[in-house]
Structure 1
């Protein structure tokens, strides 16, 4: 939560509005994200590919958030280990980020842009680093439920829970059960010499 509110915290109305110019707050985000994701190719055996916004399957669930009005750029990070999770990062026009792993569910970075949270560029980049650390370390996905299908993903501190009707789950290709995601393989320095 932003520090500008003092000890009393933000007024209740601040949780439901965005009055800051987010394009100004997050102006440096696209260039910084691009550098950070490209750096991963030096640390892990991973292919970093720039995609086109038209490649995204927009039928997949997007957070109920105005930030997804337009996608500027897409990165797809595919680890060499097939049992490791793919990471997709979409930079929005705002610019903020939408991320997902090998799952149909997207989540925002920063998690919230409301006036009460008052997140800035440094916080957004910190959240992205946490997502990267968590996904590269491996995780789990558990799908359960009959009348309502619960999809829960855990990658370190990054967790996501989404509910679907059985029909939605079938349309998205979500299958019940548990899946383990392996850590990304570290790049071997010996191979690069």
Structure 2
């Protein structure tokens, strides 16, 4: 049970972030993860706005790690995958920075370990993207305007991203 008890958080807690700096630890965790990935895997690193993009040699999905001003971390990978750490940060959600750091580590390990897959289905006026890791499945639908970048109606694809190649292999 959360600290809010059975009644849940008060409405105003959803609009309040009392101590965003508690998530500052995530920037250090992300930097350490990037350094570890560069050491363990055959990747090249590209600077991007707010962070870095790690591109594995010979397979695997690129991984973009952005340090956000909140402070937090945003990951992008595959064609449409990604996540925000923390997911929200408001007082009502009451996310624990250490738990969020572990979720960040798990997300990165799923990507580099080849445990991330995507599926796209384009229909007239709609696109549906499904993402999968061992711990979660996400599904997003996009209307006609939002669906256009994904491709023409009838386009379908599935892709299970391979594991990143180890350095020296």
2:67–2:74 Cα contact (<8 Å) kept: yes
CA RMSD, Structure 1 to Structure 2 (Å): 2.5
The aligned counterpart of 1:156 is: 134
Distance 1:15 1:187, change over 3 A: farther
Residue number in structure 2 paired with 1:70: none
Counterpart in 2 of 1:5? Answer: 4
Query: Closer, same or farther in 2 for the Cα pair 1:100/1:118, shift >3 Å?
Result: same
CA contact (8 A) 1:20 1:115 kept: yes
User: Could you say if the C-alpha distance between residues 124 and 14 of structure 1 is closer, same or farther in structure 2, counting changes exceeding 3 Å?
Assistant: farther
CA, structure 1 residues 31+15, in 2 after alignment: closer, same or farther (shift >3 Å)? same
Please report the TM-score for the alignment, with normalisation by the length of structure 1: 0.73
The answer to whether structure 1 residue 135 and structure 2 residue 86 are counterparts is no
In 1, Cα distance between the equivalents of 2:158 and 2:109? 22
Shift of 1:46: 1.9
Kindly indicate whether the alpha-carbon contact (under 8 Å) linking 1:134 and 1:158 is maintained by their aligned counterparts in 2. no
Q: Which residue is 1:38 aligned to?
A: 35
- What does residue 24 of structure 2 align with? 27
Q: Secondary structure at the match of 1:125?
A: helix
Secondary structure of 1:178's partner?
strand
CA distance in 2, matches of 1:165, 1:41: 38
Residue 15 to residue 45, structure 1, CA distance change in 2 (3 Å): farther
Q: Which residue of 2 aligns with 1:171?
A: 149
1:41 & 1:15 partners in 2: Cα distance?
40
Which moves more between the two structures, 127-136 or 27-36? 27-36
Q: TM-score, normalised by structure 2?
A: 0.82
Q: Is the 8 A contact 2:126 2:147 kept in 1?
A: no
How far apart are the structure 2 equivalents of 1:25 and 1:137?
A: 29
Aligned pair 1:88/2:68, yes or no?
no
Q: Which runs of 5+ in 1 are unaligned?
A: 54-72
Q: How many residue pairs were aligned?
A: 165
User: Does structure 2 retain, via aligned residues, the 8 Å contact 1:14–1:114?
Assistant: no
Given that residues 37 and 48 in structure 1 are in contact (C-alpha distance below 8 angstroms), is that contact kept between their aligned partners in structure 2?
A: no
Residues in 1 aligned to 2:79 and 2:14: alpha-carbon distance in whole angstroms: 28
SS of equivalent to 2:93 = coil
Partner of 1:78: 55
Is the 8 Å Cα contact of residues 134 and 157 (structure 1) preserved in structure 2? no
